[in-house]
Amino acid sequence: MAPRTTVLVTGGAGFIGSHTCVELLDHGYDVVVVDDYSNSSPGALDRVAKIAARPPVAVHELDLLDRRALSRVFDEHRIDAVIHFAARKAVGESVELPVEYYDTNVGGTTALLRVMRDHEVHRLVFSSSCSIYGAAARVPITEQDPAAPTNPYAASKWLCEQVLADTCRHLPELSVLALRYFNPVGAHPSGLLGEVPRTAVPNNVMPYLARVAAGRLPGLSVFGDDYPTADGTGVRDYIHVMDVAEGHRAALEHLDDESGMRVFNLGTGQGTSVLELVAAFQRACGRPIPYEITGRRPGDVSALVADPGGVARAWNWTTRRDLAAMCEDAWRFQECNPSGYPD
């Protein structure tokens, strides 16, 4: 019997990383996780093991900037491919902490590439972001539309893509798939795994809505109602986290299609405004969500909606879950885990 493929998942205890670990384990992959738990919890990996009925092969607590520690992970395990999630990810915070964002996101990626090169690992799925498109001139957005990042988080992801493209030109044996996914929300349908922000006030809208619905926060701040959209609030392409996880697994299966750097959007192609999202979450939880309109947030744009046709044509893959499922699963996780994961 051929050995199973071993995948290193950086940031594997995070929101998207943990759901992707479940997806990989469910499909027969062996998984090695590295995470520094700066924005995640070891409890997430306990839940991963429970859902998948088997734990990751190993979990290593380390910072990707520590190349010696990362190199020891590659020495210890026969890594066949890497899925790279580990990064800082809050738009607003990045405006306040630009140096930290470039250091972690770009520096972590270059450190990973150097260790991969030293250990002759040539297959990488990179967790990129739709935010690199910035204030796009049109929606839906295709992979051919120009990058125009409007905040340090987005700029750091764009720089990582440039580093990866340059590295692929230098190392022709390297195969990289960069996935520009849109706004991941929801939770595992079991209610065991979801998004648990480490901050008292979540940076992302769905966990914020869940805490408002649970009575843990007084109301949602809607950042601006004067955008050129139907109701004046920002429009985003929300995608279920399980679809994001499945998309990363599909990318892993298509890494060998060709070498070099390829980029794909992951999204539904459906735009939802903030107020439409509030209404959908109210239906899911069965209670009102108080909110107030405040000023625009620095770095935000009016609309980001994917054209998902590229990945559909290349892999015959599309998302499967709608907005109602995103809200229902997120609310189920909140009800089952009112205080997040146990320490």
CA 89 from chain center: how many Å? Answer: 9
In the set 153, 181, 208, 227, the catalytic residue is: 153
The answer to whether 238 is a known catalytic residue is no
Tokens 């990707």 locate to 64
User: What percent of the chain shows pLDDT beyond 70?
Assistant: 99
How many residues are given for the chain?
343
Q: What is the pLDDT of residue 191?
A: 97
Rounded to an integer, the average pLDDT of 297-311 is 90
Element (H, E) at 16: helix 15-26
Rounded to an integer, the average pLDDT of 141-156 is 95
Rounded to an integer, the average pLDDT of 219-246 is 96
Q: What is the pLDDT of residue 1?
A: 39
Per-residue pLDDT of 153-200, as tens digits, reads 999 999 999 999 999 999 999 999 999 999 999 999 999 999 998 877
Give the least confident one: 79-93, 106-120, 290-304: 290-304
pLDDT at 2 over 60: no
* DSSP notation for 230-258: SSSS-EE-EEEHHHHHHHHHHHHHTGGG-
pLDDT at 13 over 70: yes
Any residues with CB less than 8 A from the CB of 110 and at least 6 apart, and which? 163
Q: What is the pLDDT of residue 247?
A: 98
Rounded to an integer, the average pLDDT of 94-117 is 97
Rounded to an integer, the average pLDDT of 130-134 is 92
**What angle is formed at CA 310 by the lines to CA 309 and CA 312, rounded to 5 degrees?**
65
